[in-house]
């Protein structure tokens, strides 16, 4: 385009043309150039302020629009010049065209300067009574802007009160705008609360069908500010809102779903009163899963929350979550997550089948996640363990390197969950040594195997002493070093002769080379234990471990409740409590009312959760502790004081931390 990169000097003359400019043709063209240059950050344009203010007075909508845009962009950098425009703007408030009135008000309220804010305060109240709904709607947002600019200002009470009056406006769009404004102001300022009485809330529900799609979203949000006092009221509202679940607009569906779920907490006998309630919610979820990827993503993340929080209500089968090759990676990963939550002793074979299909056909990230998920499936559903192990091993043996690496990490969890059941696959894993060695996580697991199954891993001493050289060489992972230490000790306790050379050497390296304090402390501790009493060392190091359980992503109950009340909002996408993410978020919870139903304690979140694990050998734990403290290390030994802060068995803390890491990752993606 030719009008790029013009200079202010060139345009100045055109902007100032007066008499000869028929229909303001020249002016308009010049202004277009100004806007283009402004957009591409040509700072020279700022020098045209006076000319632009003069053009503002021209009685032409297009010219006005461009001038106002200019004003909004540069007002902050030229506050004095900007205030010259105030008179013209004030004139426009009285224009006979509603478009101009609204435009002027919108502009004035968007300029972050004091005189402009004052003018907004002064005029917006009157414009709330404009005869044109479009102007009233604009005025509602202008009032909200004026209020947030100075919540404690002299006018603030009056502004709020006038917004309240708008809730009974004749025009549904204006009501919706007022509701949106009030809802926002109250949700971010602790001093004010939005309460909506019963009459108004039913009024809102009644005008829903008459509103434009976005207005429906705002009204639905506002309905959640009302706390039903009886079950009958809640059910009446539910019936009025249900049809919204079929709307074409995804935001309306989500808002309706959120409101309905909220109301269901106050509706007794929902199943008999509204027989298709649960199914309607399920279907709305499916609708959203057929939308563009970004929309799907938001819904998938919310499914993770809903499946945990409302297992009684939401019943989905696995078919909508089949992974398609065209899905973006973030969708695939989220689907895998949901599939895991949906898995049960009945359908696990379908889930495994689907996950295995991913392994061969998809990208590395998805394949890795699929393998990891199969591992988690094995630990949550005992019936599935056999097939999971088969699939993991099959893919580790024939697939790519990363399949094997992820496979062995997954196997670690399974071996710990079912300590004796799958010893036969250890041989196969050992044969994969060269394939997986490049991956630190997988190598760590391999080293753990060396210590755990010294009888199966034939050349364990050689592998460990080889690894000794590299593990402490540079800044390698302390997880690996810790695992290596423990594995070496376990090997030594099982076969003292074979590891005779290894142990002193590893002690020496671990306590002299510059390593992390944890690693050094652990080395010293083992060293002392061994020199004091090898028998007791065995008790401590090769103790019987409590069986691990593997729940899926665990979000706590209060957080789930808050997330549900915020369905579709950002916190539900990140799946974290709002307070941890947003500084100014008010906490949300279900308000008390006589109708509030006690929530069934979801002790058994997943019907297929693993059977309660054999109670942790409490006495053994305490025995361990007393043992540790019975023989306090003597500082005179020369090592740094060892901290015995651990309250977990000494075996492989490195691997414990691996688990934690995975749990975190899961929630973040």
Residues of span 304-343 touching other proteins by CB under 8 A: 319, 322, 324-326, 329-330, 333
Among residues 1, 497, 600, 630, which is the contact residue for other proteins, using CB under 8 A? 1
- Here the tokens at position 285 are 């979820």
CB of 626 to other proteins, least distance (A): 44
Beta carbons within 8 Å of 601's beta carbon, 6+ residues apart: none
Q: How far is the CB of 367 from other proteins (least distance, A)?
A: 9
Residue 506 found at the interface with other proteins (CB under 8 A): no
CB of 33 to other proteins, least distance (A): 10
Query: Which among 365, 361, 340, 363 is positioned nearest to 350, based on CA atoms?
Result: 340
Residue 151 CB, shortest distance to other proteins, in Å, is: 14
| Residue 95 lies near other proteins (rule: CB under 8 A) | yes
Instruction: List the one residue from 2, 18, 19, 96 that touches other proteins (CB under 8 A).
Output: 96
Closest CA to 511 of 481, 535, 476: 481
Q: Does 220 bind other proteins (CB under 8 A)?
A: no
Query: Smaller CB distance to other proteins: residue 137 or 417?
Result: 137
- Burial track 183-218 (b if 16+ CB lie within 10 A, e otherwise): bbbbbeeeeeeeebeeebbbbbbebbeebeebbbbb
Site for other proteins in 249-278 (CB under 8 A): 249-251, 254-255, 275-276
Q: Could you say which of 12, 26, 28, 347 contacts other proteins (CB under 8 A)?
A: 28
User: What distance in Å separates the CA atoms of residue 430 and residue 199, rounded to the nearest whole number?
Assistant: 72
Residue 530, token pair as written in the block:
């061994």
Under the binding rule (CB under 8 A), the answer on residue 386 touching other proteins is no
Task: Determine if 213 is a binding residue for other proteins (CB under 8 A).
Answer: yes
Contacts of other proteins in 177-196 (CB under 8 A):
177, 180-181, 184, 188
Q: Running DSSP on this structure, what letter comes out for residue 100?
A: H
The whole-angstrom separation of Cα 562 and Cα 555 is 11
Tell me if 660 contacts other proteins by CB under 8 A.
Answer: no
- Per CB under 8 A, 133 contacts other proteins: yes
Name the helix (H) or strand (E) containing 568. none
Q: Please give the Cα distance from 208 to 220 (Å, whole number).
A: 8
Q: Is residue 287 part of the contact set for other proteins (CB under 8 A)?
A: yes
Contacts of 30 (CB under 8 A, 6+ apart): 11, 14, 15
39 binds other proteins (CB under 8 A): yes
Draw the binding track, 591-630, toward other proteins (x: CB under 8 A; -: no contact).
----------------------------------------
Question: What are the residues whose beta carbons fall under 8 Å from the beta carbon of 404, sequence distance 6 or more?
Answer: 396, 397, 432, 435, 436, 442
Q: How far is the CB of 365 from other proteins (least distance, A)?
A: 4
Task: Rank residues 19 and 583 by Cβ distance to other proteins and give the closer one.
Answer: 583
* From 5-13, 282-290, 504-512, 634-642, span contacting other proteins (CB under 8 A): 282-290
Looking at 585, 655, 658, 666, which residue binds other proteins (CB under 8 A)? 585
Which of 12, 16, 32, 543 binds other proteins (CB under 8 A)? It is 32
Q: How many residues bind other proteins (CB under 8 A)?
A: 108
Q: Which residue has the tokens 């990963």?
A: 333
Among candidate residues 135, 209, 140, 138, the one with its CA nearest the CA of residue 168: 140
Contact 625, 421 (CB under 8 A): no
Judged on CB neighbours under 10 Å (0-12, 13-18, 19+), 603 is exposed
Q: Does 77 bind other proteins (CB under 8 A)?
A: no
Tell the smallest beta-carbon distance from residue 487 to other proteins (Å).
Answer: 29
Among 21, 44, 60, 656, binds other proteins (CB under 8 A): 60
Burial of 94 (0-12, 13-18, 19+ CB in 10 A): exposed
Residue with structure tokens 């300022």?
189
Cα–Cα distance, 19 to 445 (Å, whole number): 85
Output 116 or 453, the one with its CB closest to other proteins.
116
From residue 424 to residue 453, what is the string marking binding to other proteins with x (rule CB under 8 A)?
------------------------------
Binding residue for other proteins, selected from 97, 438, 458, 604, defined by CB under 8 A: 97
- Indicate the length of the chain as a whole number: 669
- Read off the tokens for 411: 């196997």
Q: Which stretch binds other proteins (CB under 8 A): 415-423, 492-500, 512-520, 574-582?
A: 574-582
In this structure, what token pair is assigned to residue 208? 């829903």
Instruction: Please report where in the chains the tokens 């204006």 appear, as a residue.
Output: 174
The residue among 298 and 449 lying less far from other proteins, judged by its C-beta, is: 298
The C-alpha atoms of residue 133 and residue 215 are separated, in whole angstroms, by: 14
Nearer to other proteins, 1 or 630 (CB): 1
Q: What does the DSSP 8-state code read for residue 209?
A: G
| 662 scored as a contact of other proteins (CB under 8 A) | no
Per CB under 8 A, the list member of 26, 42, 110, 593 interacting with other proteins is 110
Minimum CB–partner distance for residue 364 and other proteins (Å): 7
Q: Does 554 bind other proteins (CB under 8 A)?
A: no
132 binds other proteins (CB under 8 A): yes
Q: Does 578 bind other proteins (CB under 8 A)?
A: yes
Q: How far apart are CA 222 and CA 220, in angstroms?
A: 5
């Amino acid at each position: 385009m030719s009008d790029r990169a013009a200079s202010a000097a060139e345009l100045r003359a055109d902007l100032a043309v007066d008499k000869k400019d028929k229909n303001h043709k020249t002016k308009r063209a010049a202004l277009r150039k100004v806007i283009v240059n402004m957009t591409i950050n040509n700072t020279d344009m700022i020098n045209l302020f006076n000319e632009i203010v003069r053009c503002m007075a021209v009685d032409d909508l297009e010219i006005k629009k461009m001038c106002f845009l200019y004003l909004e962009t540069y007002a902050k950098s030229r506050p004095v010049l900007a205030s010259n425009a105030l008179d013209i703007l004030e004139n426009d408030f009285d224009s006979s065209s509603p478009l101009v009135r609204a435009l002027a008000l919108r502009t004035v309220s968007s300029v972050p300067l004091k005189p402009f804010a004052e003018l907004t305060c002064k005029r917006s109240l009157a414009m709330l009574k404009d005869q044109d709904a479009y102007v009233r709607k604009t005025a509602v947002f202008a009032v909200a802007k004026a209020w947030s600019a100075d919540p404690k200002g002299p006018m603030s009470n009056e502004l709020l009160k006038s917004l309240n009056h708008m809730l009974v406006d004749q025009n549904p769009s204006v009501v919706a705008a007022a509701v949106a404004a009030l809802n926002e102001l109250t949700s971010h300022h602790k001093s004010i609360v939005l309460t909506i009485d019963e009459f108004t809330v039913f009024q809102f529900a009644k005008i829903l069908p008459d509103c434009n799609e976005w207005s429906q979203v705002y009204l639905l949000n506002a309905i959640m500010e009302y706390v039903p006092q009886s079950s009958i009221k809640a059910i009446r509202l539910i019936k009025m809102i249900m049809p919204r679940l079929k709307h074409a607009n995804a935001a309306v569906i989500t808002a309706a779903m959120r409101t309905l779920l909220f109301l269901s907490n106050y509706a007794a006998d929902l199943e008999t009163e509204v027989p298709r309630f649960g199914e309607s919610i399920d279907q709305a979820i499916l609708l959203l899963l057929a939308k563009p990827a970004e929309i799907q993503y938001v819904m998938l993340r919310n499914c993770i929350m809903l499946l945990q929080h409302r297992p009684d209500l939401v019943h989905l089968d696995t078919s909508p979550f089949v992974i398609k090759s065209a899905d973006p990676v973030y969708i695939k990963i989220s689907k895998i997550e949901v599939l895991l939550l949906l898995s049960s002793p009945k359908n696990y074979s379908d889930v495994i089948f689907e996950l295995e299909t991913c392994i061969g056909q998809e990208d590395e990230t998805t394949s890795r996640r699929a393998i990891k998920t199969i591992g988690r499936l094995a630990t949550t559903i005992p019936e599935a363990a056999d097939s999971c192990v088969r699939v993991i091993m099959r893919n580790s043996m024939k697939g790519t390197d990363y399949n094997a690496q992820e496979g062995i990490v997954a196997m670690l969890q399974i071996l710990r969950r079912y300590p004796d059941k799958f010893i036969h696959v250890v041989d196969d894993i050992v044969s994969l040594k060269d394939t997986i060695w490049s991956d630190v996580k997988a190598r760590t697991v391999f080293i753990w195997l060396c210590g755990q199954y010294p009888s199966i891993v034939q050349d364990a001493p050689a592998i460990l002493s080889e690894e000794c050289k590299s593990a402490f060489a540079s800044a390698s992972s302390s997880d690996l070093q810790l695992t290596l230490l423990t594995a070496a000790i376990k090997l030594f306790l099982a076969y003292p002769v074979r590891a005779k050379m290894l142990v002193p050497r590893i002690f020496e390296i671990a306590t002299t080379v510059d390593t992390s304090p944890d690693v050094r402390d652990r080395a010293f501790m083992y060293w002392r234990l061994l020199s004091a009493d090898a028998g007791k060392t065995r008790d401590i190091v090769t103790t019987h471990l409590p069986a691990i359980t593997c729940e899926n992503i665990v979000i706590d109950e209060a957080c789930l409740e808050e997330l549900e009340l915020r369905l579709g909002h950002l916190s539900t996408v990140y799946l974290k409590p709002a307070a941890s993410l947003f500084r100014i978020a008010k906490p949300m919870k279900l308000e008390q009312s006589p109708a509030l139903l006690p929530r069934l304690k979801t002790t058994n979140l997943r019907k297929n959760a693993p059977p309660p694990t054999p109670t942790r050998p409490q006495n053994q734990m305490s025995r361990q502790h007393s043992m540790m403290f019975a023989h306090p290390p003597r500082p005179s030994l020369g090592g740094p004081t060892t901290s015995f802060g651990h309250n977990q068995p000494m075996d492989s803390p490195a691997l414990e931390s691996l688990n934690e890491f995975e749990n975190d990752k899961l929630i973040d993606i």
